[in-house]
Amino acid sequence: MYPNRRPFFPAGQAISRMGAAVMAYALTSGSVALAETRYETGDGPGQLGVMSLSEEECVGPQSIRYDQAGSPLVLDVVNRRIADLSARSDLAQIPDAAVDPIDFILTNRRAIYLDGAQRSIVELAEGAAPVVTTLDASADARQFVVAGPDISILLVDGTIVPTGLRLSDGEELRAAGSEEFSVERLSPNAVRISFPARGITLELESDYQLLGARTVSAADGTSLYVLVEELQISPFPLALRKLVRLGDDGKATGEAYLDQAGDCAINVDVAVDRSGTAQLMSVREPTEGGGPVVVVAPVEMTGVAVSTSQGQADDLREVSSEEADLSRFLENYNGTLDIMTVSPTLSPITRSSILSRAREAYDLRWTLGSSNHSRPGIENLCQPASGKYWKQPPRLTGMTGRTVKSVPYRWGGYYRELVTFQKKLDLGLLAGDVCTCRESRYNYCIVDQSAGLDCSGFVSLAWNMPYLTTSSLSQFATIGWNDLRPADAVNKRGSHVRLVTGIRESARGRLVQVLESAVTCDGVCEREYTQHELIAGGYKPIRRPSIQGE
């Protein structure tokens, strides 16, 4: 199992052993029953990796495509592989060079990965070393787009840019790529989508703001589906995704609003199978109280879809005793003994100072010494039940003696001043730690001999305040999305927090630039999200008390 970071399901819960059994119920379309399929979480054949634990962002499979034989192929990032769920086999491994793989192309000769955190493409042919191509892109990439032999990428701002990569003579796609398209905004509530390979266009209108669209890969080679994003900010935040099926004449023949449920964000979660049916992949918590399962379910298309969503609600769920204990432990471990005294005692700080402190952690250059790479008596392995709690961030593999950029991720890591991190390295502490757990009997997998920042530790450092978990940060005043400014944060209670560094407008609406310390990028990294993605993902904008400046 790679990278042995943490359990696949919440500690203390029994994993659901459903395997790949087809459920007897599910959706219907006309007189044909459309069954959903559930896959257990784990690292075995036919299983998929899911890391879903409190105070950390959920990580699950990131992309699904169907091959010509009808098999669902999934980018299983936790287990570092492309999995064929029908054959219950691994088709390719994800190399260490791909830190944050979010989409893939699989051919008869190579696997190609899109690395979101590194803004790069990693090619891996059998028996060869990985080839890394850094993208010259103005924004974060989201998915591959294939037009004939040419491979392009769709950026977060809605533009499609060429990569310079092509399919060679005799190279064939094992899994279909998303089709080339272009989007023209006619008004805030209307867009025109063109498909040059088919010579057709589609005009869509909505009661909501239309932000953008993307095509869906189709294994049958003829079906055409478009995934459209809709957004409402006032009177309450509402982020919707509507799937539209097109006929040969370019007219819509069916629609469906997709379920936004689930804490695990999946980058490419819709694909069309060999029968022409759209399938939606999601991560769910079983009702019987076991661990999470990955579900692939057919999308029921109707004539005209109607949304029943009530918008982004306040998180009113009761805090579990386990979540409260973990939050209290992490805060006490980092010197915060009473969270109620933090807000009233915070000193004023300017926005520019916050951004400077955050940028310093991202731009920091440091040397990975031999003692920061390994220490006697501490194995580089995450197996809490065996007393092994430390796992080095994979991006540091092979970097001993070399200069590294940005502070690495370290579970439970926090410093009031960044200079402390360098002092810890000079003392020979291990760099980073991506092994986490939620069991007090393992001391929550905290390793005192490691150095770095977790997500809350990074934001607390930038805000120049005592350490607070995402659960405690949720007590700060929530601001409106239209009021969000650089040096504010977007927080998902009990999961993850990001520091806002910039905001810009694009064809896909407002884009939010952030700095964050995340497991998926092994440390402090720079990313960009649409406002739609953040709202759909359950994030709320918050502001530090006593903040000053324009």
Instruction: Write out pLDDT tens, residues 77-90.
Output: 999 999 999 999 99
Classified as helix, coil or strand, 464 is coil
Query: Among the listed ranges 149-158, 241-250, 320-329, 356-365, which one has the minimum average pLDDT value?
Result: 320-329
The token pair that represents 345 in the structure block: 């005692």
Residues 49 and 85 in one domain: yes
pLDDT value of residue 420: 97
Cis peptide before 130 (omega within 30 of 0): no
Residues 410 and 449 in one domain: yes
Give the pLDDT band (50/70/90) at residue 234.
confident
Mean of the pLDDT values across residues 407-435?
97
Residue 19 placed within a domain? no
pLDDT value of residue 24: 27
Residues 98 and 185 in one domain: yes
Report pLDDT digits (tens) over 270-280.
999 999 999 99
> In 3D, which of 82, 232, 176 has the Cα closest to residue 532?
232
pLDDT value of residue 31: 32
Q: Is the pLDDT of residue 377 over 80?
A: yes
Residue 336 placed within a domain? yes
Final residue belonging to a domain, choices 233, 263, 298: 298
Residues 242 and 328 in one domain: no
Residues 293 and 410 in one domain: no
- Phi, psi dihedral angles at 324 (to 5 degrees): -65, -40
Residue 291 placed within a domain? yes
Mean of the pLDDT values across residues 66-84?
94
Q: Is the pLDDT of residue 22 over 60?
A: no
Q: Is the pLDDT of residue 20 over 50?
A: no
Query: H/E/C letters for each residue in 216-263?
Result: CCECCCCCEEEEEEEEECCCCCEEEEEEEEECCCCCEEEEEECCCCCC
pLDDT value of residue 286: 62
Amino acid at 277: T
Q: Is the pLDDT of residue 30 over 50?
A: no
CATH number at 128 reads: 2.120.10
pLDDT value of residue 308: 58
Helical ranges in 321-391 per DSSP H = 321-333, 351-363, 370-373
Average pLDDT, the chain: 87
Q: How many CB atoms within 10 Å of residue 405?
A: 13
Cα dihedral sign, 16-17-20-22: negative
CATH number at 500 reads: 3.90.1720.10
Report pLDDT digits (tens) over 462-512.
999 999 999 999 989 889 999 999 999 999 999 999 999 999 998 888 999
pLDDT value of residue 180: 87
Question: Phi-psi category of 138—alpha, beta or left, where left has phi over 0 and alpha has psi -120 to 50?
Answer: alpha
Report pLDDT digits (tens) over 137-195.
667 899 999 988 999 999 998 889 999 999 999 999 998 778 889 988 899 999 999 99
Query: Among the listed ranges 3-12, 65-74, 91-100, 426-435, which one has the minimum average pLDDT value?
Result: 3-12
Query: H/E/C letters for each residue in 466-520?
Result: CCCCHHHHCCCCECCHHHCCCCCEEEECCCEEEEEEEEEEECCEEEEEEEEEEHH
Mean of the pLDDT values across residues 308-331?
72
Residue 22 placed within a domain? no
Mean of the pLDDT values across residues 100-122?
94
pLDDT value of residue 507: 83
Residue 9 placed within a domain? no
Mean of the pLDDT values across residues 52-60?
83
Beta strands in 288-439 (DSSP E): 293-298, 349-350, 365-367, 381-383, 388-390, 403-405, 430-431
The C-alpha atoms of residue 68 and residue 86 are separated, in whole angstroms, by 12
Cα dihedral sign, 445-391-38-246: positive
Mean of the pLDDT values across residues 386-400?
93
Q: Distance of alpha carbon 12 from its chain centroid, rounded?
A: 25
Query: Among the listed ranges 17-26, 101-110, 465-474, which one has the minimum average pLDDT value?
Result: 17-26
Residue 95 placed within a domain? yes
Query: H/E/C letters for each residue in 27-40?
Result: EEECCEEECCEEEE
Q: Is the pLDDT of residue 411 over 50?
A: yes
Q: Is the pLDDT of residue 548 over 60?
A: yes
Q: What is the DSSP string of 189-223?
A: TEEEEEETTTTEEEEEE-SSEEEEEEE--BTTSS-
Above pLDDT 90, what percent of the chain?
66
Amino acid at 74: V
Query: Among the listed ranges 50-59, 186-195, 409-418, which one has the minimum average pLDDT value?
Result: 50-59
The C-alpha atoms of residue 103 and residue 113 are separated, in whole angstroms, by 6
Give the pLDDT band (50/70/90) at residue 23.
very low
Residues 192 and 325 in one domain: no
The C-alpha atoms of residue 144 and residue 153 are separated, in whole angstroms, by 5
Residue 2 placed within a domain? no
pLDDT value of residue 5: 41
> In 3D, which of 500, 504, 506, 502 has the Cα closest to residue 157?
506
pLDDT value of residue 15: 27
List the strands of the sheet with 182-187, edge to edge. 182-187, 190-195, 200-205
pLDDT value of residue 260: 64
Residues 189 and 325 in one domain: no
Residue-wise over 104-142: b if at least 16 C-beta within 10 A, else e?
bbbbeebbbbbbbbbbbbbbbeeeeeeeeeebebebbbb
Residue 414 placed within a domain? yes
Mean of the pLDDT values across residues 96-125?
93
Domain count, the chain: 2
Residues 402 and 527 in one domain: yes
Residues 56 and 163 in one domain: yes
Q: Is the pLDDT of residue 7 over 90?
A: no
Residues 35 and 77 in one domain: yes
Final residue belonging to a domain, choices 298, 313, 338: 298
Residues 289 and 333 in one domain: no
Mean of the pLDDT values across residues 369-375?
95
Residues 400 and 542 in one domain: yes
Query: Among the listed ranges 223-227, 258-262, 418-422, which one has the minimum average pLDDT value?
Result: 258-262
Do 162 and 144 contact (CB within 8 A), yes or no? no
Q: Which domain does 501 fall in, by range?
A: 321-548
Mean of the pLDDT values across residues 17-28?
30
